[in-house]
Amino acid sequence: MNEDITLPVVYKQDNNIKPEELLSLYEDMLLGRSFEDMCAQMYYRGKMFGFVHLYNGQEAVSTGVIKALTENDYVCSTYRDHVHALSKGVTAREVMAELFGKETGCSKGRGGSMHIFSAKHNFLGGFAFIGEGIPIAIGAAFQSIYTKQVLKSREKIAVTTCFFGDGTSNNGQFFECLNMAVLWKLPVIFIVENNQWAIGMAHHRSASTPEIHKKAEVFGLPGIEVDGMDVLAIRKVTIQAIERARSGEGPTLIEALTYRFRGHSLADPDELRSRDEKEAWIARDPIKRLYNYIIDQRIASVQDLAEIESNVKLQIEDAVEFAINSPEPSITDLHKYLFADD
Ligand SMILES: Cc1ncc(C[n+]2csc(CCOP(=O)(O)OP(=O)(O)O)c2C)c(N)n1
Ligand SMILES: [Mg+2]
């Protein structure tokens, strides 16, 4: 990232949102942040195995997009997937137990951090390979219109949201799937979480056109750049994209400009990004920003927000307790879940 990057203020904040909705967005972002902080603690205590990628700093994207969806809509994530799952309604217990490799985890303890999955929440995963989720999302979106147009379902068209990073947008699947999504007018929303880095590679050093949203034009879909540190701005563009997808007009590409506040994974010493750059982004913390907005607009009091904070804390403690006390998968079940049951 250029250190003098200026973020566009494309959308004004949405003042029509109801106070209780605003507080639920705040709670969801706080849940994501607190969950990830607890993961770091548990990882360093040896409770989790393999690579663990945290989402701190990017919460406004998950909350702004996923909280605008219905239960029937789909979310397709990446390896940085815990918070996307929480926003979609997978419980903190099920996600934490998964990270501990326990039988009670949402993937029965067989997946771990990068393979969070929940069929009942239409949460399609969790993928370790970058870009792997994009064709999966296209498939989900295809079945939505097939169900509507061929099987004549009376339900509204389900929308699929597909998250991936700036680095991933240089992969072939991205371009192939943009093409197909427009060709077949698929109800899919591509959300690029441009956190400026792909492990230790700065985005502007790896992309011929660093403005990812501009790549949409070539394929004929709207490409929207949005402040990824502003949950209300993200929510607003997402609602427009959902309307477009549900009414059969096809896909939208949203590029959310954001930043991760921690290293690439918990194994990364995070020595490549400059202190100035990190501080500049931390000053735009999306959770503090919404907190200040709520207080300034007198939507809720400091005590109300403190109450939300302590509820979240209890939920996280409960999740850890649940994960610790849950059983390991049994060795006799080694082959279970490899194939679908009849
Ligand atoms: C197909 C494939 N190639 C390479 C990797 C190694 N890899 C893991 S994360 C990553 C960078 C991805 O960066 P970005 O898409 O910006 O996502 P972020 O980590 O910033 O969320 C790479 C190259 C991989 N997981 N899969
Ligand atoms: Mg990135």
153-210 per-position pLDDT tens digit: 999 999 999 999 999 999 999 999 999 999 999 999 999 999 999 999 999 999 999 9
pLDDT of residue 72: 97
Rounded distance from Cα 23 to ligand 2 centre (Å): 28
pLDDT range class, residue 342, cuts 50, 70, 90: low
The arithmetic mean of pLDDT across residues 315-338, rounded, is 96
Q: Give the residue, out of 80, 84, 168, with the most ligand 1 atoms within 8 A of its beta carbon, to mutate for a pocket test.
A: 168
Ligand nearest to the CA of 1: 2
Q: Which of 66-75, 253-262, 330-339 has the lowest mean pLDDT?
A: 330-339
Q: Which residues approach ligand 1 with their CB closer than 6 A?
A: 80, 128-130, 164-168, 195, 197-199, 264
Closest residue CA from atom 8 of ligand 1: 130
pLDDT digits (tens, 9 = 90+) for 222-238: 999 999 999 999 999 99
3-state class (DSSP) for residue 253: strand
Which of 51, 80, 130 best tests ligand 1's pocket when mutated (most atoms within 8 Å of CB)?
Answer: 130
Main-chain dihedrals φ then ψ at residue 169, nearest 5 degrees: -70, -5
How many Cα atoms are found within 13 Å in the side-chain-facing hemisphere of 70? Answer: 9
Atom of ligand 1 nearest to the CA of 80: 21
Name the percent of the chain lying above pLDDT 90. 92
How far, in Å, CA of 28 to CA of 22, rounded? 10
Question: What distance in Å separates the CA atoms of residue 138 and residue 178, rounded to the nearest whole number?
Answer: 9
CA-closest candidate to residue 171, choices 118, 215, 141: 215
Q: Give the residues across from 225 on adjacent strands.
A: 255
Min mean pLDDT across 1-5, 86-90, 238-242 is at 1-5
What percent of the residues of the chain are helix, what percent strand, and what percent coil, each to the nearest 5?
45, 10, 45
Q: Is 172 helix (H, G, I), strand (E, B) or coil?
A: helix
Cα of 235 vs its chain's centroid, Å = 13
**Distance from Cα 129 to the centre of ligand 1, integer Å:** 7
Residue among 199, 201, 262, 268 whose CB has most ligand 1 atoms within 8 A, to mutate: 199
Domains along the chain? 19-322 (3.40.50.970)
**Cβ-based burial of 301 (10 A; exposed 0-12, middle 13-18, buried ≥19):** exposed
